[in-house]
Structure 1
Amino acid sequence: MNDITGEQKILAIIAHLGYLLGGAGFIIAPLIIFILKKGDPFVYDHARQALISHLAVLVLSLAISFLCFLLIGILLLPVLAVVWIGLVITSVIAAIKALNGELYRYPFIQEIVDKI
């Protein structure tokens, strides 16, 4: 993977840091890159990692929000904050790895990623 271009690195970084686009950008950016760059193993792998990680956080956030709505999950709000902080930290690490032309594996989701 020594011949990684600047465009490939930028696309991989955008996939990881899509949440900076606001709104649903944290799902839409890696999804678009994932769909359009299937022929590019470097970008595809980064987009796949980011997409699965972001979807996992979204599902967890929705579940906790629903529980909070029912007044059961109020105590889970700190857990949700830790999950989002973890996403920010791991996606910044992934973006740095992409900038260096390296692959990155998000923790805790590899079994799901390997199936896709």
Structure 2
Amino acid sequence: MTDPNSPIAPPPAPALGSVSNDDKLWGMLAHLSALLFGFLGPLVVWLVKKNESAFVDDQGKEALNFQITVFIAMLACGVLSIVIIGLFLMPIVGLGALVLTIMAGIKANGGETYRYPFAIRLIK
């Protein structure tokens, strides 16, 4: 059983009511912008739109937290590449990040909140 106060345990998705098409688009962009710009894409989307929409605020924070987690994991893989294991883990982390980011973008485009299964939630 996981501790609900742990920074790794996914919080329950908030009830956001109906989500406009514009909010769905920005929520999707919060996730998918990471494919081109790393954690800077979700950061910019979240900073620009967080006060305009609860949905975009939520999904922007979620995408940013996940991309920070991926960045930390890649740094750890870089360090572990000294002992070879990092060279095997790096593509696994990259592929997992790609798949989860695309899944999150699809869910956000449908107006659903998405929670990444492996994210350290630093921004609350």
Question: TM exceeds 0.5?
Answer: yes
Instruction: Report percent identity of matched pairs.
Output: 32
Higher helix content, 1 or 2: 1
Structure-1-length-normalised TM-score:
0.80
1:52 CA drift (Å): 0.7
1:37 maps to a residue whose letter is K
Alignment of 1:23-102 (within 5 A): 25-39=37-51, 40-68=53-81, 71-72=82-83, 74-102=84-112
1:36 maps to a residue whose letter is V
1:38 CA drift (Å): 2.3
4+ residue segments displaced more than 3 Å: none
Structure-2-length-normalised TM-score:
0.76
Offset from partner CA, 1:56-82 (integer Å, 9 cap, x none):
1111112221332xx22x222222211
Structure 1 residue ranges without an equivalent (≥5): none
Aligned length: 108
Structure 2 residue ranges without an equivalent (≥5): 1-15
